[in-house]
A and B are shown apart, each in its own frame.
Chain A
Amino acid sequence: MKRRCWLPLLCALAFWPAVLADAQGRIVIRPAIERPPQPATPGDTANPDAVKPVEPTPEEAERIAELIEQLGAPRLAQRDRAMAELAGFEARALRQVREAKNHADDEIANRCALLEEVIQSRQAELFLAARRLSLQPNELERMLAAPDVKPLLEILRARAQPGLTPLWARVLAMLAARPQVSQAAQLCAELEGVEGYGLALAEAARFAALGPDHARGLAALASLLPPSRAPEAVDALAFCGVRAGGADGVQEALRAAWVLRGQYAATDVLAALRPPDDPRRRLEGDGEGLRQAVVLCMTPAATDPELRAAQLPALGAMSPLVLAEYLGLLRRSGLVSRIENVLVTLVASGASARVLGAAGAAWADAVDVARMQAEFSALPGPARLGALDALWLNPREPERMHPFLLGLLRGPDSALREPAARMLGQYRAPSTVRALADTALAGGPVAVTALESLAPMADLLVSAAPEQLKRLVALLPQADLALRAVLIDVLVATAWPDAASALRAQWLEHLPRNEMLAACRLFSTDPSHPAGALAAAVNRAVERSGGAARDRASGAVDYQILVLMRVLLAAPADRGFELLVRVCADETSGVRSFAAGALALAGKDGPYIADWIRRVVGETPDAQGMALAYGVALSTSDAAEDFRRRTLQQGASARHLSLVHESVLAGRSRTVTREDLLRVLFDTPANARNWLFSDILDGPLPPDVRRTVATTLLFSEDIQPLDGIAPALVLADSGVDVLQLLFGDDADARPRDAQRTMVTALMGNPQRARELVARADVGADGANFAALQFARAYLGMVDAAVARRLLRHGGGQGVPRLLLLKQAAQGGDATSARMLLDRLAAGSGRFAEGGTAGVEIRVQRWRGPQVEFDGVAGEALRGVAGGQQVSADRLQSLFGQPLPPQWSGWWACRRALLEYDPAIGKYRIKELP
Chain B
Amino acid sequence: MAKKNQVKRPAASSKFEELMTGTTVFNVPLPADLKTLKGMSPIVIRQPYNIDYIHSYGQDSPFFAGLSNKKLLGTKCPKCDYTWATPRLACTRCGGETDWVELPQTGRVHTFTTCYFGGEEFLKETPFHLVLVEFDGVDTLFLSRLLGPEQPEDIKIGMKIKAKFRRNSQLKPTDVYFVPAE
> Do chains A and B stick together as partners?
no
